[in-house]
Amino acid sequence: MSDEPELHRVLQARAVAFDGDAHRAWMDGDPAAARAAFAQAARTYAASWDAAPPEAFGRLVGRVKAAVLSGDEVLAREQSRATLDALDAVGGPSSPAAGWAAALAALTLREDDRLPDATAAMRGGPPPFARAADAVQALAARDAPGLAAALAAIVEDFATRDGHLTGVAIADTALVLQLLGRPRGLTAPLPASAVLPTA
């Protein structure tokens, strides 16, 4: 048996590393470098998904979240469409992670009819998924106070975590949801926090 790691795991680790580069650049006040690294992360998460066994839904979350945070609208739409197509091929969101991926993609593409199924799947998971679902539902309802409250809860959760996937303490979930509110005319301020960039 080969000791070489499987390709999809190599690609996943590479995607997480690009995500970490983006997080560090953003927290260090270099949003241009962050956007470039997010674009690399999105494409690498996509390659990891393509090589992975079924139900590796965290990679779909990563590809859409990173694509949106890259600021590249074409990339974000491409990755969102591919994500929804992948989920449709397996019968829709069947786990909290799949629901979160579906919610991010549907928000990006303004396909709000998909959000009830996505948030229902999210609410079957641990509390962080429920907090994100609250924000998704506020976005769908164009409920600015509800969105602000949900984002504040997400930021507080990130601030009290002992560890972070990329090794960088940044509330990227709150940042991506705040960004997805802008096309809907929702401007929800985030609280001052050590897990948020200053610019």
Q: pTM score, two decimals?
A: 0.95
SS3 content of the chain, % helix, strand, coil (to 5): 70, 0, 30
Listed in sequence order, the residues at least 6 apart from 31 whose beta carbon sits closer than 8 Å to its beta carbon are: 25, 197, 199
Neighbours of 161 (CB within 10 A): 12
- The type of residue at 86 is A
Q: Is residue 165 domain-resident?
A: yes
Q: What is the mean pLDDT of each run of 10 residues along the chain (199 residues)?
A: 70 96 97 97 97 92 98 98 96 96 98 97 96 97 96 97 94 97 92 91
Q: Is residue 137 domain-resident?
A: yes
Residue 102's closest CA among 56, 146, 61, 142?
A: 61
Q: How many angstroms from the chain centroid is the CA of residue 133?
A: 12
Q: Is residue 191 domain-resident?
A: no
pLDDT of the residue at 5: 66
Q: Is residue 90 domain-resident?
A: yes
Q: Is residue 23 domain-resident?
A: yes
Q: Is residue 197 domain-resident?
A: no
Count of structural domains, the chain: 1
The answer to whether the beta carbons of residues 161 and 126 sit under 8 Å apart is no
Which domain, by its residues, includes 92? Answer: 7-184
CA distance 149 to 127: 15
58-69 vs 31-51: helix axis angle to the nearest 10?
Answer: 150
